[in-house]
Chain A
Amino acid sequence: MVEKVLIVKDIWKSYDDLQVIKGISFELAEKEVKVIFGPSGSGKSTLLRCINMLAPPDKGSIYLCGKDITDSEVNLNKIRTRIGMVFQHFNLFSHLKAIDNVSIALRRVKHMPKELAKEIALKTLEAVKMKEWADYYPAQLSGGQQQRVGIARALAMEPEVILFDEPTSALDPELIGEVLQVILDLAKANTTMIIITHEMGFARAVASEMIFLADGIIVEQGSPEHFSKSPTSERVKRFLKQLDVLYGSHEKLLDIKEEE
């Protein structure tokens, strides 16, 4: 049996009185790409932050390569070096050049010598086609470029899994493509990933399985074909239709207006 990279087992999470995650379980195999989608406020981002223990779940367990990381004995800083994270708003370190954004964790966490860290950082930047921009600061880069540095920053640590929290939803439409292309390349290179995204075309191309999340629970999960051809629950159908209207043809928007 192939050991799962990640096993999420019945996790619950609340913020004060608000129950955000209400018992979620799933498994992620090596080289698998899981896409999570669903309406805002459904708990998608919280789920990712539970997985790398930035927001530890109140209940349930998470196993990373067979080891329960919700155990209080576990050194979370060590665990987090093995789980990469790419943020919606990039969260690059604004006082550091692109290359230093990528190399800082290699130096401060993996304690690599400066030259080696820079070398690896430069190679990783090349992988996301950002090598020429290595000496620029985040504020000098476009959103798409910043996000590619963000991906390189996570990638350089060679994590077992990378979590993407809506990596393109803060981007201008014409910048989305370059970021999605980088993620597609990663998928081709068999990187294990969990991606929150509403780019359905991209999701279909990259996902081995898709999970629809609403109100803190998994409403439906299945292959990309399943969601494109025969989603079962009404909630999913309604959501997909809305996406289709927004990103689809202009005429459908007019139809909706007339219906109202």
Chain B
Amino acid sequence: MVFHEPLNSFEDLFEVLAHWDQFFSGYIITMWIYGLALFIGFLFGILLALTRQYGSKLFSRLSAGYIEIMRGTPLLTQILLFYYLPLSLNIPIGRWSFESTFILFDKEINIILLNHATLVGILTLALNSASYQAEYIRGSIISVSKEQLIAAQSLGMTRLSGIRHIVLPQALRFVIPAWSNEAAYLPKYTVVVFFIGVNDLFHEAYIIVSEEVISLLTYLLVGIIFLITITLISNLLNFIHKRTKIPGL
């Protein structure tokens, strides 16, 4: 895994690119884990932010505690813990998997969408991401004036309905620029699933390197793939932010 050899020629590039199917399947896995983790983390993050902001003292503290623990411990620790926890508790894990195989340009591509490791990866990333997302969302909930909820209640709306129809629609618009941090960070964090044996992009790159011994170029390509992906995500979020902007504000 050391960048020891000099960059040779285009021959190396072609040799690495010949493994495009591995890059492809790895990329699909990475984006699949990223997308699900971000989405689940978003829903759970909203729930955490709401309980922390509006919940009773007990729930507010539970939520704050959860956020502190998830943000305060290494992601790698969390993922290894969740992966090995069932084993150390003697809970049997079936060797189940949900995969998809198809032919693309004469190459058979097999993608394991879900098995024990992938599930652990998705859930850990989601639970971890939720704590960061919750704080972004809470920040923007606070930025919506308290009087907005009071006005809603003065019309006879319940507190919950006011939060749902008045506060959240504004908070979720305001949160996009800050939240895009998390959306841009998370793809890179997904590489931790490498440690529990998920065949993500990074894992595939590792396999390619061990076969071809062309590490510099391979990892450079992985870096470029991430760069392009995250640039696209940022641009998409900028676009959404502009489209959902409240006129006049």
Within 8 A of A (CB), among B211-241: none
CB neighbours (8 Å) of B154 from chain A are: 52, 54, 80, 83-85, 154
B246 touches A153 (CB 8 A): no
CB neighbours (8 Å) of A94 from chain B are: 148, 170, 246, 249
Per the bound structure, the CA–CA distance linking A109 and B165 in Å amounts to 11
- Determine if B153 is an interface residue (Cβ-Cβ < 8 Å): yes
A93 touches B151 (CB 8 A): yes
CB neighbours (8 Å) of B156 from chain A are: 77-81, 105, 109, 157
Per the bound structure, the CA–CA distance linking A77 and B173 in Å amounts to 27
Q: Knowing A104-B165, A109-B157 are in contact, say whether A91-B249 is a contact too (CB < 8 A).
A: no
- Determine if B62 is an interface residue (Cβ-Cβ < 8 Å): no
Choice from B151, B152, B158, B169 contacting A95 with Cβ under 8 Å: B169
CB neighbours (8 Å) of B157 from chain A are: 77, 105, 108-109
Per the bound structure, the CA–CA distance linking A198 and B164 in Å amounts to 36
Q: How many residues of B contact A (CB 8 A)?
A: 22
- Determine if B150 is an interface residue (Cβ-Cβ < 8 Å): yes
- Determine if B248 is an interface residue (Cβ-Cβ < 8 Å): yes
A140 touches B161 (CB 8 A): no
Per the bound structure, the CA–CA distance linking A105 and B145 in Å amounts to 19
- Determine if B5 is an interface residue (Cβ-Cβ < 8 Å): no
Identify the A interface with B (CB < 8 A).
Answer: 52, 54, 77-81, 83-85, 87, 89, 91-95, 104-105, 108-109, 136-141, 153-154, 157
Choice from A79, A81, A84, A137 contacting B246 with Cβ under 8 Å: A137
CB neighbours (8 Å) of A54 from chain B are: 150, 153-154
Q: Knowing A91-B145, A94-B170, A95-B170 are in contact, say whether A105-B155 is a contact too (CB < 8 A).
A: yes
Per the bound structure, the CA–CA distance linking A138 and B249 in Å amounts to 9
* Per-residue contact bits, chain B 140-177, to A (CB 8 Å; 1 contact, 0 not): 00000101101111111110010001100110010000
CB neighbours (8 Å) of A141 from chain B are: 248
CB neighbours (8 Å) of A157 from chain B are: 155-156
B147 touches A91 (CB 8 A): yes
CB neighbours (8 Å) of A80 from chain B are: 153-156
CB neighbours (8 Å) of A77 from chain B are: 153, 156-158
CB neighbours (8 Å) of A78 from chain B are: 156
Query: Which residue of A has the minimal Cβ distance to B145?
Result: A91
A93 touches B166 (CB 8 A): yes
Per the bound structure, the CA–CA distance linking A41 and B145 in Å amounts to 22
Query: Which residue of B has the minimal Cβ distance to A86?
Result: B154
CB neighbours (8 Å) of A154 from chain B are: 154-155
Instruction: List 29 A-B residue pairs with CB atoms under 8 Å apart, sorted by A's residue number.
Output: A54-B150, A77-B153, A77-B156, A79-B156, A87-B147, A91-B145, A91-B150, A93-B148, A93-B170, A94-B246, A95-B170, A95-B173, A95-B246, A104-B155, A104-B166, A105-B152, A105-B155, A105-B156, A105-B157, A108-B157, A108-B161, A109-B155, A109-B157, A136-B248, A138-B248, A139-B246, A139-B248, A141-B248, A154-B154
- Determine if B247 is an interface residue (Cβ-Cβ < 8 Å): yes
Q: Would you give the shortest CB distance from B166 to chain A, in whole angstroms?
A: 5
Q: Knowing A137-B246, A137-B248, A139-B249 are in contact, say whether A91-B148 is a contact too (CB < 8 A).
A: yes
A93 touches B247 (CB 8 A): no
A140 touches B155 (CB 8 A): no
CB neighbours (8 Å) of A81 from chain B are: 155-156
CB neighbours (8 Å) of A138 from chain B are: 248
Per the bound structure, the CA–CA distance linking A101 and B109 in Å amounts to 53
Query: Which residue of B has the minimal Cβ distance to A140?
Result: B248
Per the bound structure, the CA–CA distance linking A109 and B156 in Å amounts to 6
Choice from B150, B166, B247 contacting A140 with Cβ under 8 Å: B247
Sorted from nearest, which 10 A-B pairs have the closest CB atoms?
Answer: A139-B248, A81-B156, A140-B248, A105-B155, A91-B151, A85-B154, A80-B156, A109-B156, A91-B147, A137-B247
Query: Which residue of A has the minimal Cβ distance to B156?
Result: A81
Q: Would you give the shortest CB distance from A109 to chain B, in whole angstroms?
A: 4
Query: Which residue of A has the minimal Cβ distance to B162?
Result: A108
Per the bound structure, the CA–CA distance linking A140 and B153 in Å amounts to 24
Q: Would you give the shortest CB distance from A102 to chain B, in whole angstroms?
A: 10
Q: Would you give the shortest CB distance from B150 to chain A, in whole angstroms?
A: 6
Query: Which residue of B has the minimal Cβ distance to A88?
Result: B147
Output the residue of B154, B161, B169 with the most chain A CB within 10 A.
B154
Q: Knowing A95-B246, A139-B247, A139-B248 are in contact, say whether A89-B147 is a contact too (CB < 8 A).
A: yes
Q: Would you give the shortest CB distance from B245 to chain A, in whole angstroms?
A: 10
Q: Would you give the shortest CB distance from B14 to chain A, in whole angstroms?
A: 53
